[in-house]
Amino acid sequence: MKTRRLGSSPIVVSDICMGTMTFGAQADEATALRVLDESFDAGITFYDTAENYPVPPDPKWAGRTEEILGRWMKTKNRDALIIATKVSGPIHGWIVSAQRAGMTALDRHNITRALDASLQRLQTDYVDLYQTHWPDHGTEYEETMEVLDEMVRAGKVRIVGCSNETSWGLMKSLQVSERLGVARYQTIQNNFSLNNRRFEDELAQVCRQESVSLIPYSPLAGGVLTGKYQGGATPDGARFSAYLTKGGRFTAMAHRFVNEKSLASTERFHAIAREAGLDPVTLAVAWSKQHDFVASTIVGVTRAEHMRPILAAADLVLSDDVMKAVKGVTREIMYPMG
């Protein structure tokens, strides 16, 4: 398993990160523990969670994922693990956090309470990477970055990062951190996949110039790139099969991921994978890792058997011909996810 540095920090991680978003909902604890053990044995050192997991957000199970991960961590050497978690930002009318009655923000009150609760659930006295889950452009970055810096100085957090942030928000935060002399975002965790390359439009250049690492999530485009939704299929237990029946924002999200253009591009990527003798999942994960602004690609599974094609991408470098073929699909079917 290759390793890369997170931003300009001292922390080095495996270039595949195990995401835990399904643990405690779609994946029960026994499955989660098996996946975590197999990941660790394969050389994965980096594990990502959030106070709001598992998804979809629900007060009856909010925090369960951190609890499962915390119990597993007790079976390993804590120094061998790089643990990342997140504090919920404001809802912005899209996702309502299941924490603090949905009244979440990136102010001192919320960040302090969220981190203390996460540390308790994880059964540890520090996390390696603490991230803002989605931005709070209504709260001054001065307050957000100052309290995050206090958490670093207190030894509860080693470095900080953001998630689902914009180019403006990332640059604004970096400017504030530099001006105040406080901790800066070393990472950004945004959606990035073969079906969603919008990160390359602007944010990739910010990362390159400012030494911030992308930790992409959803490299399989929410499972779409596995091919399980091809031909209009809605497999049992699949996330977007369920979202299509929920209505409102959930259905809107499902249509963003599963639509005519995304299914067409997925078909083309499967053809490229077959020609290269690769599993489509292996192709998607390897492609995600093969960018200079990416530190570690976050993967997620609901069953242990899903790990095999993911781990096959660990040491894989895609050929120039494969990368050229992928670029050709991107040019012909632009922005499949809008």
Q: How many CA within 13 A on the CB side of residue 302?
A: 12
**281 with 253: CB under 8 angstroms?**
no
Q: What's the sign of the alpha-carbon dihedral 338, 256, 303, 80?
A: positive
Let me know if 126 is a catalytic residue.
no
List 47, 53, 185, 229, catalytic entry: 53
CB 185 within 8 A of CB 174: yes
Supply the DSSP string of 192-225, one letter for each residue: -BTTB-GGGTTHHHHHHHHT-EE--B-TTGGGGG
What one-character-per-residue DSSP string does 92-159 give?
TTT---SSGGG---SSHHHHHHHHHHHHHHHT-S-EEEEEESS--TTS-HHHHHHHHHHHHHTTSEEE
Q: Which among 76, 89, 87 has a CA at the least distance from the CA of 37?
A: 76
Radius of gyration of the chain (CA): 19
Active site residues: 53
